[in-house]
Amino acid sequence: MPALSLPALHASHAGSWLREGAGATRPVSKGEAVTAAADTPLLILNAPLVATRLGYPDLSGLDLLELFAFVHPARFVVPTPKGLAHALDLEEPTGDADVPRLLQEAAGALLETCESPTWAEREGAWTGLQSLIRMRWPWSTLLSGRIAKPQQAERWLFTRLPEWEESPEAPQPRQVTLQPAEVLQRLAKLTGSSAEQRQSQRAYAVEASEAFAPREARGRPHVVLAQAGTGIGKTLGYLAPASLWAEQSGGTVWVSTYTKALQRQLRKESRRAWPEYRPDGSQPVVVRKGRENYLCLLNLEDALQGGFAGRAAIMAQLVARWAAYSQDGDMIGGDLPGWLGTLFRQRGITALTDRRGECVYAGCPHFRKCFIERATRASVGADLVIGNHALVMINAARGRDQASRPTRVVFDEGHHVFDAANSTFAAALTGAEAIELRRWVIGPEKNARGRRRGLSARLADVASYDEAGAKAITAAVAAAEALPGDSWMQRIVEGAPSGPLEELFAAVRATVYARDESGGQEAGYGLETEAAGLDGAFVEASEAAREALAELRQPLMRLSLRLEALLEDGPDWLDGPGRARIEGARHSLGWRIDLLAAWEALLARLAGPADPEYVDWLALERSEAREFDTGIHRHWLDPMKPFASVVLEPAHGVVMTSATLRDGDTWDQAIKRSGTPYIDVAPKLSEHLSPFDYAAQAEVLIVNDVPRGDIPALAGAYGRLIEASGGGVLGLFTAIRRLRAVHGRIADRLARGGLPLYAQHVDPIDTGTLVDIFRDDPKASLLGTDALRDGVDVPGHSLRLVVMEQVPWPRPTILHRARRVAGGGSTYDDSLIRAKLAQAFGRLIRSRNDHGHFVVLSSAFPSRLLSAFPQGTPVRRISLEEALHRVAASVSGETVKDGDPARPPV
């Protein structure tokens, strides 16, 4: 396979290397590398990452990832030299200096694929390439001579995609009672005849099956709270009764997760119970996500026809290539490479989804091929729907189809249900939210690109044929002028707000700054203050804003009623697609009317007494000294109250399961956070300990001689621990500022020693791809924040050391303070901290063969928090030098004999 004899450049924290055509590879300085890249297009891998390494943000060239996305759309590859080599079956580079050679070989292999008669992704390539040639995509010249023009015109993406089919309404499920013997028989079938019989898994499956029993009273579902330690096999444990119930009843079970990683794992595990397709071609298992995760074909068409310009237009062409081969059109965590969006340094990926709620449903020319509609319809007749916590709650609260709302739900990662409910049932009247509502009603601002359409455009036929509807639309558009417009934040900062909402946000900003007690120490970070003790001028501004919101809500309500009347007594011009589109418009109107009502209630409270069920505050959002939003926030003091009403009460059976559901030896917190007390249901409690031998497999080291707040000492500790472990380190931070400081001090030194270091909020790579890179390279280490504390599954040698910079104390926000008072003060804090520690520790031991250390760099680690770790785990308070010795000895396989006996948690 011939290598492409073009110059290739590789840059890492260890240095830069340049290979001139077929010549030798040589190390170069950053300045020389930048000069070479500016003079001629170079072969590179992941241009944004290379640009960060070189400190040259304008770097461009022939990025192998872009070529891979064109040649192999919807195919997975870890975006590293090693990952590229494995994906193309090439020799893995021996080190940084060998990477340019690989880039030339990879380019040659990909280009050669385009000439192969067996190229699986050939269809559409030639047509797409013609557009990329006009856009002067760097790879187009090299590709144009290798992709032959097809003898017949290629079908465009929008004609190539299959149409979904209508299906009859699903009948109610039969009432069945699962017998323990048949549940165990189904579990044995799923695990396989050669699998070991795990008694804890068998007991877990039987107890979980109780949630599927017939409901005995309205509003009183069967609820099972199941704590299952890592290694129990809880996924198959609940899929056994779920699949059995779906088979016998003909109903649908929803399994809800908090992370996309677990969704992918569930999809894989579900294949043990269900085939990919039924004999009739339907899917028994469907993955469902929020609308904002899927490609919107109308947005893509607009982007391809001039809505995007420059690099974003190239990205749209690559997304179109992917869409033709995608399994389900999922852009966020699906089979679209997570790194594709970061290559173009723009928010182009999100612009291609339906984040603004502008869907016209049946009025869209691509409605019958829509990925979102296909997933929605497939889920109605599915046996299993894999969703996420937020989607389940939103679907229960305002799903378009009452019959498709979940009634049997398994909440995996159940410890996150509270967090999801906290976000789902909150209200935020902010500038960013208000301007989005304005755009939804009015349409695009002047000179705006894209396909934004206001109410008048989306309901033009209604306005033409229904006078009352037309008047309501006109009134709504006029009232929406009171909402913030473009450059609203700039006007507020300059002291020139326009309209009642901008005047309110100016008052919020002024109040927050007036009450700030940080003394400027928190410059660049968000500020907040209680929505209490507000002066008369503020109350007047809030009242004017509330009246403006009411002026908008009223015509929207009138419009909703007119649409309902049209559906009940449809005119001659209203055909089937038109009815579907109006039904969709009613749904969109409904939740915006609810949103306005929530905002009005929030503002009305500012002039009166506080409601003890809610926590209200004013906030100014800042990032690196740039103000970008401000507004008023309202959260439930206990979000499980609306969760109980909206999700639990209508359900028939619910399982909440996690490895960290309980707090220590008590169920009190888990029961409270399940929402069951609000519906007077006593949940069934189920506990199953992990089968792992933590005394032999893991060790907790509390390092007591790294001074708190000493960044050089903290960085030194991280660097030496990574060296002692030989990589394979997950470093967890509670502050982005400290993460960046530590990374900046140690990354170069570690890389020169062959230990690559990656970091969230530093490397221009999405979190999912960072975890893929970390998992793929046992010598790599990864620094991150809360997103990496749980939901990250890296079994084996790739993760052998978890390091936390300090005890993860809760942030002292206004919301936390209110919940702390209501929850018992320090005991509430301790339960949150123990949960975070347990989740972080859970990353370390994922199988019986895993071994590793959990290190906390804190001299003041309270003993009361040690119960977060599994019973029997050795805990030692030692110096950094001793910790380094134990980590290094463990990696080398030595036995430490220092006379320090294992001390169980207290």
DSSP characters over 304-354? IIIIS-THHHHHHHHHHHHHTT-SS-B-SSSSS-TTHHHHTTSSHHHHTB-
pLDDT greater at residue 87 or residue 893: 87
- So what's the pLDDT on residue 903? 39
- pLDDT bin (cut points 50, 70, 90) of residue 789 is confident
pLDDT greater at residue 222 or residue 403: 222
Which residues pair with residue 684 across a beta bridge? Answer: 224
What average pLDDT does this structure show over 185-201?
87
Q: How does 857-874 read in b/e, with b if 16+ C-beta sit within 10 Å?
A: bbeebeeebbbbbbeebb
* 11 DSSP 8-state letter: E
What average pLDDT does this structure show over 254-272?
90
Strands (E), 755-874: 757-759, 781-784, 801-804, 852-856
- With a cut of 50, say whether residue 902 has pLDDT above it: no
Do 204 and 228 meet the contact criterion of CB atoms below 8 Å apart? Answer: yes
Q: Which structure tokens are listed for 776?
A: 């793929």
Instruction: Name the amino acid, one letter, at 803.
Output: V
- With a cut of 90, say whether residue 885 has pLDDT above it: yes
- So what's the pLDDT on residue 876? 95
Which residues contact residue 817 at a Cβ distance below 8 angstroms, ignoring those fewer than 6 apart?
Answer: none
Q: How far apart are CA 587 and CA 583, in angstroms?
A: 6
Q: Name the CA radius of gyration of the chain, rounded.
A: 29
Burial of 22 (0-12, 13-18, 19+ CB in 10 A): exposed
- With a cut of 50, say whether residue 904 has pLDDT above it: no
Pairing of strands 653-658, 222-228: parallel
For the whole model, what pTM was predicted? 0.91
| Closest listed residue to residue 7, CA positions, set 17, 92, 15 | 17
Q: How far is CA 667 from CA 451, 459, 586, 620, 758, in A?
A: 52, 53, 43, 38, 38
* 168 DSSP 8-state letter: P
- So what's the pLDDT on residue 401? 55
- So what's the pLDDT on residue 450? 52
Do 69 and 337 meet the contact criterion of CB atoms below 8 Å apart? Answer: yes
Helix (H) or strand (E) holding 16: strand 15-19
Instruction: Name the amino acid, one letter, at 763.
Output: D
Strands (E), 42-154: 43-44, 62-63
Do 393 and 643 meet the contact criterion of CB atoms below 8 Å apart? Answer: yes
- So what's the pLDDT on residue 333? 81
Do 652 and 221 meet the contact criterion of CB atoms below 8 Å apart? Answer: yes
- pLDDT bin (cut points 50, 70, 90) of residue 899 is very low
Q: Which value, to the nearest 10 degrees, does the dihedral of the CA atoms of residues 730, 736, 737, 739 take?
A: 10
What average pLDDT does this structure show over 550-577?
84
Which residues pair with residue 632 across a beta bridge? Answer: 429, 618
pLDDT greater at residue 455 or residue 183: 183
pLDDT greater at residue 891 or residue 762: 762
Would you give the end-to-end CA distance of the chain in angstroms?
62
Q: Which structure tokens are listed for 650?
A: 């209508």
Pairing of strands 757-759, 684-688: unpaired
Which residues contact residue 21 at a Cβ distance below 8 angstroms, ignoring those fewer than 6 apart?
Answer: 5, 6, 7
- pLDDT bin (cut points 50, 70, 90) of residue 572 is low
pLDDT in tens, 291-324: 889 999 999 998 998 888 889 999 999 999 999 9
Which residues pair with residue 804 across a beta bridge? Answer: 732, 856
Instruction: Name the amino acid, one letter, at 771.
Output: V
Residue 425: count other Cβ atoms within 10 Å of its Cβ.
20
- So what's the pLDDT on residue 447? 55
Do 405 and 399 meet the contact criterion of CB atoms below 8 Å apart? Answer: yes
Least confident interval from 339-353, 740-754, 812-826, 857-871: 339-353
- With a cut of 50, say whether residue 31 has pLDDT above it: yes
| Closest listed residue to residue 390, CA positions, set 416, 408, 428, 359 | 416
Pairing of strands 427-430, 626-636: antiparallel
Tokens 């002292």, residue located:
812
